[in-house]
């Protein structure tokens, strides 16, 4: 009988300390964008979370392609806001990002300026851990960069 209580206590203790997340992180698939310039530059005017910074750098380095003979593209992140709010039986995160793009071609005396903003949100309801909500925030940030890529492609 004593062993039985020990086994039950051990099982309860082990089940209370599970660290697995109930939500799977998404693996973002960014779209490739091409610009008719010879140089590209990324400028972050504000501090952003490290996960988002990695996503932006990954997207900019791997999916923003240049294939021109002249000109420069400057992509700037101007503003980032992340707001967490409590909803009925859960939490919600709203994320906002604004950007600007300057395409300069000195030989043709051309300059094109594009600015825009994207938003995304994520919610989590029911019983969840802080780790689960962190995964929701990271998934929302990934969705934000995918939306940024699509929005930028429609504006150029």
- For residue range 4-19, list pLDDT tens digits in order: 555 665 656 555 544 5
* CATH number given to 33-155: 3.30.160.150
Helix (H) or strand (E) holding 42: strand 39-44
- Average pLDDT, stretch 34-47? 90
**Interatomic CA distance for residues 125 and 88, integer angstroms:** 8
119: exposed, middle or buried (C-beta count within 10 Å: 0-12, 13-18, 19+)? middle
HSE on the CB side for 15, CA within 13 Å? 6
Identify the residue whose tokens are 């294939």: 67
C-beta atoms surrounding 141 within 10 Å:
27
- For residue range 132-149, list pLDDT tens digits in order: 888 888 989 999 999 988
pLDDT at 9: 57
Please name which of 43, 40, 35 lies closest in space to residue 72, comparing C-alpha atoms.
40
- For residue range 59-108, list pLDDT tens digits in order: 999 999 988 888 899 999 999 999 989 888 888 999 999 999 999 987 77
Identify the residue whose tokens are 């209580």: 5
What does the domain layout of the chain look like in residue ranges?
Answer: 33-155
**Interatomic CA distance for residues 98 and 116, integer angstroms:** 6
């Amino acid at each position: 009988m004593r062993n039985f209580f020990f086994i039950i206590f051990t099982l309860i203790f082990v089940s209370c300390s599970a660290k697995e997340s109930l939500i799977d992180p998404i693996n973002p698939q960014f779209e490739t964008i091409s610009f008719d310039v010879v140089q590209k530059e990324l400028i972050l005017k504000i501090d952003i979370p490290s996960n988002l910074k990695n996503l932006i750098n990954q997207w900019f380095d791997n999916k923003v392609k240049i294939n021109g003979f002249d000109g420069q593209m400057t992509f700037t992140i101007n503003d980032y806001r992340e707001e967490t709010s409590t909803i009925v039986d859960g939490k919600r995160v709203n994320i906002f990002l604004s950007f600007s793009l300057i395409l300069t071609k000195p030989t043709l005396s051309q300059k094109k300026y594009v600015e825009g903003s994207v938003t995304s949100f994520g919610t989590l309801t029911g019983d969840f851990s802080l780790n689960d909500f962190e995964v929701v925030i990271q998934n929302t940030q990934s969705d934000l960069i995918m939306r940024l890529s699509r929005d930028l492609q429609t504006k150029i």
